[in-house]
A and B are shown apart, each in its own frame.
Chain A
Amino acid sequence: MTPLTGFLLVAALLFSIGLAGALTRRNAILVLIGIELMLNSANLNLIAFWRYGPHPERLTGMMFAIFSIAVAAAEAAVGLGLVIQIHRHAHTTDLDAINRMKG
């Protein structure tokens, strides 16, 4: 097994764990945690391909990962703000209980 295969398998496992968390948990914050794990596994893929790719000096994968980290930070801030506002409105963060779009 080459090193790149190992990193790709770890990233695939992390993505699946994050997806399982986002699909099965009831708390909205835990769903956001699952999405963060999925974003991070994509970053691991980008860095691994940058490291073992043919032209690492062009920094393409590294730049992708850095911008992806910045976008994930913005996503986390807005997502958690939305969760706090939903909790203030519906007095719960249980996604099974929040089943109406009308306020």
Chain B
Amino acid sequence: MSFVFYILAALTVAGSLAAVLLKNTVHCALALTVAFLGLALLFLDLDAQFAGFAQILVYIGAVAILVVFAILLTRGSETPKDGVFSHTWLVGLVIAAAVFAVLGWAVLGSARVLPHETAAPVVTVRDIGVALIGRYILPLEIVAILLTSAMIGAVIVAMHDKEGAK
């Protein structure tokens, strides 16, 4: 376990904790950006350069901006008077803690059979492009259709309904 990993893990976990716990919704969105950045750096630490830069472009460049736009459009930055947590927050916390306990138990219980340190794989963007056009051509086309239909669907869903406004 390298020193870099601990710094990046601490950054990611702190960012995600802040995204979930902060009261002001805009601060939550900014903390979410920090968590995404930490994840992208973890991907780079794992020698997955393409996934790391895709993470930066898609999540920090698009999803975080979308979240901030949605917060501003819905005036979500005003903190509600009766708290930001649901009245069933204790149940949610217990469920999340139980899920973490099970996942941690499974990971630590199987630590002996997990593979150890291996040499860093040499994967260029060219290899990824060849694989996308070759073996993974069908999922690529399906994702293209999904993204197009999701974009059209999001515009139709969020479009102002003039009939309903009367």
Give CA–CA (A36, B36) in the complex, Å.
10
Return the contact of A53 from the options B115, B128, B158 (Cβ within 8 A): B115
Q: How many residues of A are counted as interface, with CB atoms below 8 angstroms from the partner's CB atoms? A: 73
| Cβ contacts B81-124/A at 8 Å (1 or 0 each) | 00111111101110111011001100110010011111011010
Also in contact, A24 and B76, with CB within 8 A (given A1-B1, A1-B111): no
Which residue of the partner chain A has the closest CB to B104? A12
Q: How far is the CB of B32 from chain A (nearest CB, A)?
A: 5
The CA of A74 and the CA of B144, in the complex, are separated in Å by 10
Whether A14 contacts B51 by the Cβ 8 Å rule is no
Q: Nearest Cβ in chain A — how far from B18, in angstroms? A: 10
* CA distance in complex: A57, B108 (Å): 27
A60 to B159, CA, bound (A): 38
Given contacts A10-B9, A44-B42, contact A85 B157 (CB under 8 A): yes
> Quick one: which of B9-25 are within 8 Å of A by CB?
9, 12-13, 16-17, 19-20, 25
- The answer to whether B1 touches A6 (Cβ under 8 A) is yes
A76 to B158, CA, bound (A): 13
B17 A24 Cβ-Cβ under 8 A: no
**Apart from A23-B93, A36-B32, A59-B127, 8 more pairs, CB < 8 Å:** A25-B20, A30-B20, A33-B19, A33-B28, A37-B35, A72-B58, A80-B154, A84-B74
Q: List 24 A-B contacts (CB under 8 A).
A: A4-B116, A10-B13, A15-B103, A16-B99, A19-B92, A20-B20, A20-B93, A24-B88, A26-B80, A27-B76, A27-B84, A33-B19, A37-B35, A40-B35, A40-B59, A51-B118, A52-B116, A52-B117, A57-B127, A65-B51, A74-B151, A77-B66, A77-B151, A93-B74
